[in-house]
Amino acid sequence: MTAAGVIRAGGLVAFPTETVYGLGADAFDAAAVARIFAVKGRPRHSPLIVHVDSIEMARSLVLAWPEAADRLARRYWPGPLTLVLPKQPSIPDIVTAGLPTVGLRVPSHPVALALIREAGVPIAAPSANLFTELSPTTAEHVRESLGDAVDFVLDGGPSTVGIESTVLSLTGDPLLLRPGTIPLPEIEALIGPVRIAEGAAAGAHASPGMHPQHYRPRTPLVLLSAGDPPPPGRGAWLRFGREMPAGPAAYAAGLYATLHRLDDQSLDWIAVERPPDTPEWAGVLDRLTRAASR
């Protein structure tokens, strides 16, 4: 059976996107989506992003498509931007954690787009790993995390963006729910001022990735400033501009792969020098801050 056939039959497919590998199911099939939560150990209050192949498919799944959504989609889709909008009743509540909104994006990876088109349905997909652990950027990372719990793994090579998408809510005044690799000033140049979410409230999260402890390697990760001493014991230092790239795109692309590699070395700690606190680095800094939370 093909990967698209597995999706249509209610199965789970791990597939590559430009951000990270996703664990996908037919977004219209509540039972299949429930398997995603079970395989990942993901709480039901954390909604899933629905992957579509076009603006037209996205518009068919929402009750409203504001001008801001159109501007952003035409600028950044296909690409690493998720837009949160009021959902149509056809999207099961389990996908959206019972919220009346749904996060949508068009991935730019050709394998992901081909899977959606051949399956003929939108695909709900969080990252293909156990909940709160390191996201996978290769098919091998998926196999190491989830084993044979996935019905089909599509290998599309390493993810090129390397961290999860920017998530922006357009259900009211624009609200940044999760930073990614798109700098906020760039978004504001298109649609005007954007507020930044302060954190997840009790109950259902408005976006994936808002849990305070997330993206964590098994090895304790410590986020340090330049000049801080590393912890005692055996560990690895990832210094800005030395062991890690000095540019935000290259840093993001290699971050999870580097942490996966170090996680296999039985270290006592991984120390990461804090990158710059600027809009271009907001997504990387968010991931490192949550990874260091214990």
Mean pLDDT by 10 residues, the chain (294 residues): 97 98 98 98 95 98 98 98 98 97 98 98 98 96 96 98 98 96 98 89 66 83 91 94 95 98 96 96 96 82
152 and 26 in a common domain: yes
CATH number of the domain encompassing residue 187: 3.90.870.10
CA of residue 8 relative to chain centroid, distance: 23
In a domain, 174, yes or no: yes
Give the pLDDT confidence score for residue 293 in this predicted structure: 78
Question: Do the Cβ atoms of 49 and 42 come closer than 8 Å?
Answer: no
94 and 134 in a common domain: yes
In a domain, 277, yes or no: yes
Residue ranges making up the domain that contains 234: 221-292
Give the pLDDT confidence score for residue 200 in this predicted structure: 58
In a domain, 209, yes or no: no
In a domain, 75, yes or no: yes
128 and 88 in a common domain: yes
Give the pLDDT confidence score for residue 212 in this predicted structure: 63
Q: Read out DSSP for 200-257?
A: --SSS-SSTT-SSS-SB-SS-EEEE-TTPPPPSSSEEEE-BTTTB-SSHHHHHHHHHH
273 and 172 in a common domain: no
31 and 170 in a common domain: yes
Give the pLDDT confidence score for residue 201 in this predicted structure: 53
Helix, strand or coil, per DSSP, at residue 151: coil
226 and 182 in a common domain: no
Q: Which residue has the tokens 């199965």?
A: 11
Give the pLDDT confidence score for residue 28 in this predicted structure: 98
Give the pLDDT confidence score for residue 202 in this predicted structure: 53
Q: Which of 129, 161, 196 is the last residue of a domain?
A: 196
Give the pLDDT confidence score for residue 207 in this predicted structure: 72
188 and 131 in a common domain: yes
Instruction: Give how many domains the chain has, as a whole number.
Output: 2
Give the pLDDT confidence score for residue 230 in this predicted structure: 86
In a domain, 128, yes or no: yes
In a domain, 77, yes or no: yes
Give the pLDDT confidence score for residue 79 in this predicted structure: 98
Give the pLDDT confidence score for residue 176 in this predicted structure: 97
241 and 134 in a common domain: no
Q: Which of 161, 196, 231 is the last residue of a domain?
A: 196
The model's pTM is 0.95
